[in-house]
Amino acid sequence: AQSVTQLDSQVPVFEEAPVELRCNYSSSVSVYLFWYVQYPNQGLQLLLKYLSGSTLVESINGFEAEFNKSQTSFHLRKPSVHISDTAEYFCAVRSYSGGSNYKLTFGKGTLLTVNP
């Protein structure tokens, strides 16, 4: 079964600093990878996804993630964070366990706190 490891449970940074949230997944032949964001008291929202093609994917609010097959990683980065980026970020991988059994497996989450 697929698994996802988010190496940092909490990442505090100052406003306008760069940030990297790390995610590693267990290897599989075909990998679909996702980053979701959860703002306080809300449900999860898709931030970006990698299905195929270019290994660098970008979101509309300045985040980007790079699929690295050799290192089985899908780290999330932003060159300059804002207070409004404070949220919990979840990395997820689509896993397949036979028949029609597709599901998303989520990491434990990384709480990003942006301080003024």
Partner 1 sequence: DSGVTQTPKHLITATGQRVTLRCSPRSGDLSVYWYQQSLDQGLQFLIQYYNGEERAKGNILERFSAQQFPDLHSELNLSSLELGDSALYFCASSVGWQGAYEQYFGPGTRLTVT
Site residues (vs partner 1, CB under 8 A): 32, 36, 41-46, 49, 51, 90, 94-96, 100-109
Please state the closest distance from residue 42 (CB atom) to partner 1, in A. Answer: 6
Q: What angle do CA 50, 46, 93 make, to 5 degrees?
A: 45
Give 2 or 73: the residue with its C-beta nearer to partner 1.
2
Rounded to the nearest 5°, which phi and psi values hold at 115? -100, 145
Please state the closest distance from residue 57 (CB atom) to partner 1, in A. Answer: 13
Q: 85: how many CB neighbours lie within 10 A of its CB?
A: 20
Please state the closest distance from residue 104 (CB atom) to partner 1, in A. Answer: 6
Contact call for residues 52 and 44 (beta carbons, < 8 A): no
